[in-house]
Amino acid sequence: MKRLIFLILMIAIVVVSCNKEDALEPSANFTTNIENNTLMAGEGFTIYLDDVQGEFLVYFRGHNLESTYDASDPTRTGTIIPTDADSLQITGYPVNILNDTTFVFTVVASSSGNWAEDYLQDVKSIDINVLAPQER
């Protein structure tokens, strides 16, 4: 009798633990405090994450090849964004640029579900115009 109760209990645990959980709908909808998408070289900025959601959040600054988002290149890794953050300070772009340059800043929000059978991702990018330092 004890074996039967133990067997029923084990079956119940397995059945309950085998439920598939749907992936959360990710959103990479961030905003910034950048005026007209233009910064001076070295000037930092803030991204606001009020509408960003997902289990895995990363950003790509886009100031060199390794930090530029490319969905077809899995070797490029972004900087992790804490999922409980409501905003994030981003350091300025290089002050040693010689000409005004446009960088692509990207946030990627991802979620996984159904034992990793489902993988959802949302990507948002903005162009940031960085003005070269003026000669003094």
The 10s digit of each residue's pLDDT in 4-45 is 776 777 776 666 565 667 778 999 999 999 999 999 999 999
**Average pLDDT of the chain?**
87
pTM of the model: 0.81
Question: What pLDDT shows up at residue 135?
Answer: 54
What is the average per-residue pLDDT within 39-68?
A: 93
For residue 136, name the pLDDT band (cuts at 50, 70, 90). very low
Q: Which domains does the chain have, with CATH numbers?
A: 20-131 (2.60.40.10)
Whether residue 47 is predicted with pLDDT greater than 60 in this model: the reply is yes
Q: Residue 113, exposed/middle/buried by CB under 10 A (0-12, 13-18, 19+)?
A: middle
Q: Give the whole-number percent of the chain exceeding pLDDT 70.
A: 88
